[in-house]
Amino acid sequence: MPTREEILKALESVIDPEIRKNVVELGMVREIAIGEDRVDVTISLTTGGCPLRNHFVVAVRKAVRALGVEEIGVEFDVLSPEEKAALQQRLGMKSGLPDGSKASLAQVTNVICVGSGKGGVGKSTLTVNLAAALAAEGKSVGVLDADVWGYSIPRMLGLGSERPPVSAERKILPLEAHGLKVMSIGFFVAEDSAVVWRGPMLHKALTQFLEDVDWGALDYLLIDLPPGTGDVSMTLAQLLPQARFLLVTTPQATAQKVARRAAEMATKVNLDLLGVIENMSGFTTPGGERFAIFGEGGGQQLARELDLPLFGKVPLTMPLREQADAGEPLVATDPDDPASQAVRQAARGLIAATPTVELPPILQELPGLPVMQHEPKGATLPMA
Ligand X SMILES: Nc1ncnc2c1ncn2[C@@H]1O[C@H](COP(=O)(O)OP(=O)(O)OP(=O)(O)O)[C@@H](O)[C@H]1O
**Residue from 38, 321, 374, 377 that binds ligand X (CB under 6 A)?**
321
152 binds ligand X (CB under 6 A): yes
CB of 147 to ligand X, least distance (A): 5
Does residue 324 interact with ligand X by CB under 6 A? yes
C-alpha–C-alpha distance, residues 347 and 354, integer Å: 10
* Residue selected from 16, 18, 145, 147 as contacting ligand X according to rule CB under 6 A: 147
CA dihedral 325, 327, 331, 336 (to 10 degrees): -60
Q: How far is the CB of 307 from ligand X (least distance, A)?
A: 24
DSSP string, 136-156: HTT--EEEEE--TTS--HHHH
Q: Which is nearer to ligand X, 293 or 353 (CB)?
A: 293
29-58 binders of ligand X (CB under 6 A): none
Torsion angles phi and psi, residue 10, rounded to 5: -65, -35
Between CA 34 and CA 21 the distance in angstroms is 25
Q: Which stretch binds ligand X (CB under 6 A): 21-29, 66-74, 198-206, 316-324?
A: 316-324
Residue 285 in 3-state DSSP? coil
Nearest distance in Å: CB 345, ligand X: 14
**Binding segment (CB under 6 A) for ligand X, from list 97-105, 112-120, 133-141, 371-379:** 112-120
Instruction: Please tell me the number of Cα atoms within 13 Å of 55 on its side-chain side.
Output: 27
343 binds ligand X (CB under 6 A): no
Contact present, 117 and 259 (Cβ < 8 Å): yes
Positive or negative, the CA dihedral 321, 335, 117, 16 is positive
- Non-local (6+) Cβ contacts of 311 within 8 A are 246, 275, 276, 277, 345, 346, 349, 350, 353
Under a CB-based contact definition with an 8 Å cutoff, are residues 248 and 117 in contact? no
Nearest to 180 by CA among 143, 125, 136, 232: 143
One residue of 276, 339, 347, 383 binding ligand X per CB under 6 A: 339
**Please, what is the minimum distance in Å from the beta carbon of residue 203 to ligand X?**
20
- Does 381 engage in binding with ligand X (CB under 6 A)? no
215 in helix, strand or coil?
coil
* Alpha carbon distances (Å) from 127 to 105, 132, 134, 140, 247: 19, 9, 10, 14, 11
Residue 227 found at the interface with ligand X (CB under 6 A): yes
276 is in an annotated binding site: no
Residue 120 among known ligand-binding residues: yes
According to the binding rule CB under 6 A, does residue 262 interact with ligand X?
A: no
Asked whether residue 27 is marked as a ligand-binding residue, the answer is no
Taking contact as CB under 6 A, which single stretch among the options 133-141, 145-153, 257-265, 326-334 is the one that binds ligand X? Answer: 145-153
Contact 263, 273 (CB under 8 A): yes
**Sites for ligand X among residues 114-143 (CB under 6 A):** 116, 119-125
59 or 255: CB nearest ligand X: 255
**Closest CB to ligand X among residues 116, 380:** 116
Centre a 10 Å sphere on the Cβ of residue 1 and count the other Cβ atoms it contains. 13
Q: Which is nearer to ligand X, 118 or 244 (CB)?
A: 118
Q: Is 124 annotated as a binding residue?
A: yes
317 binds ligand X (CB under 6 A): yes
Q: Does position 320 bind ligand X by CB under 6 A?
A: yes
122 is in an annotated binding site: yes
Q: What are phi and psi of 368, to 5 degrees?
A: 80, -5
- Judged by the rule CB under 6 A, the positions of this chain that interact with ligand X are 116, 119-125, 147, 150, 152, 227, 279-280, 314, 316-317, 320-321, 324, 339
User: Which residues participate in the annotated binding site for ATP?
Assistant: 117-124
